Amino acid sequence: MFTPQSCSVMGLQQLYQCPASDPSRRCCRMGRMAEPEASLDTICAQISTTSFVFGVLHLRYPADSLRDNPRLASIVDTTCNLLALTFACLQEHTNLYMQSIVDPVSGLFNRQYFNELVQREVDRSQYNRQPISVIRFELDHFARYTEQYGSRATDQMLVRVGDLLRHTLRVTDFACRLGVDDFAVVLPNTTGGDAIQQAEQLRQALALLEPHEQITASLGVATTHPSGTSLVQLLYAVESAVQAAKQRGRNQVAQADPAQ
């Protein structure tokens, strides 16, 4: 790895040739080379499009063997253009894929990705014989909040909810926005007791989140059973737990047993 400021070729639209006989033009990457490698001529060329620099193509070859080859510049230029095109296509593909699985308001994964993710994690938990828990929650009185403060304030509140989930969960956990006021958190390798504790901490954090009005949520928790729990059972259990929390007065955590 190197910084753009430390590389002589960054920003250049031409080849940068570094003959071994001229230490003053030595490439920044040659400073760490062993003695045999330091005796090689090098060529550096920027890999870039008109709007983005991906990196540098760095070639080493025996001194004087290719320096006067008339095709060398053309070959390197063509190679850099092909690499830049490939990287740009991969970048665009990644951007489009992220747009398809991320909720544009909260920045959390969307329902499409949740469906893929939770199926994969349930299969993994059964294979590894490790529990997986799901927290699902609905923001209480969401429509009333929107009517009182407007859609812009509501979007800002959803952004804060997304930030809260990203900053409080483990790196192995996944937070998703399933609907307008509906969220889910997938907790791999997490027991029911630990998931309840996490849900309660989340409930308390949500209550401190909003300056205009206290945000409360009805949370449900479900955990796979050691004897085996299907995806349908798990999702039905956690949805039932959410409804139980709402029926008991909202702003609380309810637990369900998917084996029942």
Mean pLDDT, range 170-176, rounded to an integer: 95
8-state DSSP, 210: -
Alpha-carbon distance 79 to 123, whole Å? 43
The 8 Å CB, 24+ separation contacts for 232-236 are 233/258, 233/259, 234/118, 234/122, 234/132, 234/134, 234/258, 235/118, 235/134
Query: How does residue 48 score in pLDDT terms, banded at 50, 70 and 90?
Result: confident
* Span(s) in the chain for CATH 3.30.70.270: 111-256
Which among 196, 179, 177 has a CA at the least distance from the CA of 134? Answer: 196
8-state DSSP, 102: B
The pLDDT tens digits for 75-93 are 888 888 898 888 888 888 7
Architecture per CATH, domain 111-256, reads as 2-Layer Sandwich (3.30)
Mean pLDDT, range 9-36, rounded to an integer: 60
8-state DSSP, 19: -
The pLDDT tens digits for 139-165 are 999 999 999 999 999 999 999 999 999
Residue 10 pLDDT > 80, yes or no? no
**Amino acid making up residue 57:** L
The H or E element containing residue 246 is helix 231-247
Backbone angles phi, psi at 164, to 5 degrees: -60, -45
Geometric angle at alpha carbon 50, from 47 and 51, rounded to 5°: 95
- What global pTM score does this model have? 0.71
8-state DSSP, 167: H
Summary mean pLDDT of the chain: 85
- 189 token code pair: 């390798």
CA distances from 86 to 1, 16, 49, 58 (A): 21, 22, 11, 17
- Crossing angle (nearest 10°) for helices 111-128 and 72-101: 90
